[in-house]
Amino acid sequence: MSGKEPSVQEHAGKQKEKPRRKPDERIRRTHERLGSALIELLKEKPIDDITVQQVLDRASVGRSTFYLHFRDKHDLLLSQLEMALEHMSTVLMVRREASDRVVAVTEILDHIGSQNDVFRALTDAGRLHDFFDLAQDYFARGIEQRLKESKRTPKIPPRELRARAHLIAGSFLSLLRWWIDRGAKEPPSEIDEMFHSIVWNGLSASPKVRDQRG
C-alpha cells in the first residue's frame, strides 16, 4: 500500500453509495463549525498540512463526534464543496428569479471573489480541480431546469436540452476558471452579461429550433 490518502473525487464516488438525509439542527450546527474551521485553516496552510485534530481544536468539536459524520478531512472538504455548489447552482430557482439567466454568474463570481484566499489555497494544494469536477453535474442540473422553465426554449427536445445543459455548464466552468486565472479582474456583472449573450446566441442557432420555426 502506498499510504496515499484518497482524493476528494474518490470520496465523492463513495458518498453516492449512501443516500443523504436532511440533518437536524444540532447536526447542521456541528457541520457548520467543522466546515468553518477547515475553511479558516485552508487560508493558513495547504490541506495536506492540516490534521483532523487541528480542525477539531479550531471547531471545539470532539473526535468521536467528527468521525460520526465524516471519514476524514477530505470527506469534510467534499461536504463543504457540495453545500456551496448546491447553493450556487439552485439560487435562481430558489428565489424564483424571472429572468433569462440560467446561472447566477454575478452572485457566484462575487462569492468566489470574497473567498479568493480559499480558492487560492485549493489551487496551491492542487485541489481546485476537485471543485470543478464536482461542479459540472450540479450546474448542468440547475441549467437544465432553468431552460425547461424558460419561454425561450419550449421546442428543444429533452435529450438535446440535457446535452446543451451539460455543454453550457462546461462553458461556464471554463469561463470561471479563466476569470480566476486572470486574477478576477473583470467585473462579475460584465462576465454575466457576456456569458448569457453567448448562451442565448448558441441556443437560438439550434437546428431543431430553426426547423420548427421555419
**pLDDT on residue 118:** 73
User: Between 25-42 and 73-94, two packed helices, what is the crossing angle to 10 degrees?
Assistant: 110
Which of 196, 181, 177, 202 is CA-nearest to residue 106? 196
* pTM reported for the whole predicted model: 0.76
Tens digits of residue pLDDT in 158-174: 898 899 999 999 999 99
Topology of the domain covering 23-70: Arc Repressor Mutant, subunit A (1.10.10)
Q: What does the pLDDT average to over 166-191?
A: 92
Please classify residue 182 by burial: count the beta carbons closer than 10 Å to its beta carbon, then call 0-12 exposed, 13-18 middle and 19+ buried: exposed
Q: Assess whether pLDDT exceeds 80 at residue 44.
A: yes
List of residues 6+ apart from 39 with CB closer than 8 A: 80, 118
- The answer to whether residues 148 and 161 touch, using CB atoms and an 8 Å cutoff, is yes
Q: Assess whether pLDDT exceeds 80 at residue 135.
A: yes
Work out the number of other CB atoms within 10 angstroms of the CB of residue 9. 13
Domain positions in the chain are 23-70, 77-214
Q: How confident is the model at residue 214 (pLDDT cuts 50, 70, 90)?
A: very low
Please measure the distance between the N-terminal and C-terminal CA atoms of the chain and give it in whole angstroms.
63
**pLDDT on residue 24:** 80
